[in-house]
Structure 1
Amino acid sequence: MPSLCPAGRPAVQLTARGEACRIEPLSVTALQLVTFFSLFAAGYLLRRSARLPDQTGLVLSRLEVLLFLPALCFNTMAKNFQAQVFRDQGPMILTGFLVVAVTYGAARLLAGRFTRDPITRDVYVYSFTVPNLGYLGYPLVLALFGETTLFRYMVYAIPYQLFIYTVGIYILNPARTFTFKSILNPSMAALFAGIVVGLLRIPLPEVVTDTLNLAAQCMAPVAMLLTGFVLGAFTPGKLLSGLKSHIAAWIRLAVIPLAALAVFRLAGADPETTLLAVLLLAMPFGLNGVIFPQAHGKDSTEGAQICFVSHLYSLISLPLMIALLLAVLDWPG
């Protein structure tokens, strides 16, 4: 991922404060998001103009799930995971479990306010619980804060990954079926394989690390192309219609993260945990609320609407949220 700072440093660092680049975080985040969303727009326009076949979304999705995202997960864990992580990051993981549980409870209450249809209600429950922490969160954190912080973000997000592939898959499936095979998906397998390699300090051949690095760098651009392409099945008017989707988007992007920030500050949580938790909660809605209903032959319009609108608004909300977090937490000092 190209850096926005000179000398190849990330835009903002959580460690080595004296070495952090003094670039306005609002501008840095906005520029990075414009880069990502240019590919989002390209994917959307390619679908709307019928320049690519409809199966392209399936191909891109499989590349992400089977290759690019696992490569990023494995790489980050293999390079950074050590024995002391259990001691240092243990409280952060427990915090992640607590936040997932509280957010899930709040999501169940919120979802009933938006729809009475049980299928659509489940989409809202999932979407309010799990933001786009991977396809947008991972590359954005990497670009702004560097690989060390991405590693901590991934560690904090482990409870979310477990939720996605257990409760998440269950509630998004109208048949209410679940198998343990869903937990053993490529991304989770790669993440835990990377943990083992990191713990045991297993050396990997240079050709392997170079290949993984190259594959990991494809994750962000392909993810944004995929997001745009999937949403390209709907017209702009359809995606922007309906007041509910706009209200839901601002709850996702502002109300939930700001409430979390207030709670973390009142509880005296450490700045790093606060930043990572609130940043994750500030991400827009993800694609699963669109893809799963489609896969089961259900209407995915509302899932597409909240996903599209929240991604558009995140161009404004994320730079402001990150600037607020860095100011409130006095980071970097």
Structure 2
Amino acid sequence: MQAFLITFGKMIEILGMLLIGFMLRKWNMLPEQTPKVLSGLTAKLFMPSLVFMAMLRNCTPANLTENAPLVLYGGGIAVLCFLLSYPVAVLFERKNQVLKHQYRYSTAVPNSGAAGLPLAIALGGSAMLFQMNLFNLMLSVITYSWGIMQLIPGGKGGFKASLRRLVNPVLGGLALGMVLGLFGGEQWIPAPIQNLADSMGNCYVLAAVLLTGYTIAGFDLRETLKDVKIYLFAVVRLLLIPLALLGLCWLIKAPTIVTVLAVLVYAGPCGMNPVIFATEHGVDNKKVAGLLLVSMPLATVTIPLLYALTIEVTGWVPPVG
């Protein structure tokens, strides 16, 4: 029960931020360029700062050696979900190629940034965030290469363009933090610089969730929300995939932290990228906006339940919280 309450409380906080972002748009309290500004700050400043500091503090040679298996386990699970996305997408859409690709992306790539990442910080601090970043390395590669190709109609730009997308502020902050951490950067980088990066990183969760709520408020989804497929896919995204991964980790006797991270990451709701890219390229965005709108509030309940079940199965005790 305690495990459920810890995560449920955090998810209620996230839902509260989401509702504030929603109402800010409904009440026209912010200018029209707000989503562009918030998304730019989140992707280019706040999240890079957050992952940079997590790596700087925790990526010591001893920690990296101890946690190296997380890269392999996380990579294997990411590839498995990537392969799974093809048959799942066909189950939900056969004719519309754009929509089929959106389903592929939403199956393979959970929105761990809006749920799993804040929970990792709440449960295990920067040490667990470091572990999650290692676990998510292959997922990040898949997201910024294959994933983005799925969301661009016709796959414009091809493979080389996908590789170029791997050069981005988030992965740059992660790589820089790893290198400096291995050379003891926390000890010799001036405290004001570290405090500045901390302050920017601490803005990430609030900005990301406010942006999600603000974006959702811009859609009239009354007809879309009558589509049963949206709710069925939410069940797949929020319950079936993380439960299958929990069972798989139990069967192969994966390390406890791998099981916990697999559930926290892949229990995440649908993300914003399908909505953003659909809007940018002038294709129908109502379905993916509906997936986002339905899955985000439901995750408030499903993630705590899955986390409590994971604690029961593994006996894991969070180091913080």
Q: TM-score range by the shorter chain?
A: over 0.9
Deviation per CA, 1:58-104, whole angstroms, max 9, x where unpaired?
11000001110000010000110022344322222111121111111
Deviation per CA, 1:131-183, whole angstroms, max 9, x where unpaired?
01123321121012222111101110111111111111112111412423311
Q: Does 1:312 align with 2:297?
A: yes
Matches within 5 A, 1:171-210: 171-176=150-155, 177-178=157-158, 179=161, 180-202=163-185, 203-210=188-195
Aligned equivalent of 2:257: 272
Select the residue among 168, 187, 190 that pairs with 2:147. 168
CA contact (8 A) 1:239 1:309 kept: no
Aligned equivalent of 1:4: none
Matches of 2:116 and 2:243, distance apart in 1: 17
Aligned equivalent of 1:328: 313
- CA shift at 1:49, angstroms? 2.7
Note the residue ranges of structure 1 that are not aligned, 5 or more in a row.
Answer: 1-22
RMSD between aligned residues: 1.5
Select the residue among 122, 128, 145 that pairs with 2:124. 145
Select the residue among 39, 59, 78 that pairs with 1:81. 59
- Amino acid of the residue matched to residue 271 of structure 1? T
Select the residue among 25, 28, 32 that pairs with 2:6. 28
CA contact (8 A) 2:18 2:212 kept: yes
Matches of 1:187 and 1:213, distance apart in 2: 15
CA contact (8 A) 1:156 1:276 kept: yes
Q: Does 1:241 align with 2:230?
A: no
> Which secondary structure state, in structure 1, belongs to the residue aligned with residue 254 of structure 2?
coil
Matches within 5 A, 1:1-333: 24-115=2-93, 116-176=95-155, 177-178=157-158, 179=161, 180-202=163-185, 203-235=188-220, 237-238=222-223, 240-332=225-317
Matches of 2:110 and 2:223, distance apart in 1: 22
Greater displacement, 141-150 / 124-133: 141-150
CA contact (8 A) 1:132 1:283 kept: yes
Note the residue ranges of structure 2 that are not aligned, 5 or more in a row.
Answer: none
Aligned equivalent of 1:16: none
Matches of 2:315 and 2:118, distance apart in 1: 23
Deviation per CA, 1:273-292, whole angstroms, max 9, x where unpaired?
11111221111111111111
Matches of 1:43 and 1:253, distance apart in 2: 23
- Amino acid of the residue matched to residue 293 of structure 2? F
- Amino acid of the residue matched to residue 150 of structure 1? L
CA contact (8 A) 2:230 2:287 kept: yes
CA contact (8 A) 1:73 1:194 kept: yes
Deviation per CA, 1:16-39, whole angstroms, max 9, x where unpaired?
xxxxxxx81211111111111111
More helix by share: 2
- CA shift at 1:50, angstroms? 2.5
Percent identity, aligned pairs only, is 31
Matches of 2:141 and 2:71, distance apart in 1: 12
Residues paired across the two proteins, number: 311
Cα separation, partners in 2 of 1:111 and 1:118, compared to 1, 3 Å: same
Greater displacement, 101-110 / 229-238: 229-238
Taking structure 2 as the reference length, the TM-score comes to 0.93
- Amino acid of the residue matched to residue 289 of structure 2? A
> Which secondary structure state, in structure 2, belongs to the residue aligned with residue 146 of structure 1?
helix
> Which secondary structure state, in structure 2, belongs to the residue aligned with residue 63 of structure 1?
helix
- CA shift at 1:51, angstroms? 2.5
Matches of 1:160 and 1:27, distance apart in 2: 29
CA contact (8 A) 2:11 2:115 kept: no
- CA shift at 1:238, angstroms? 4.5
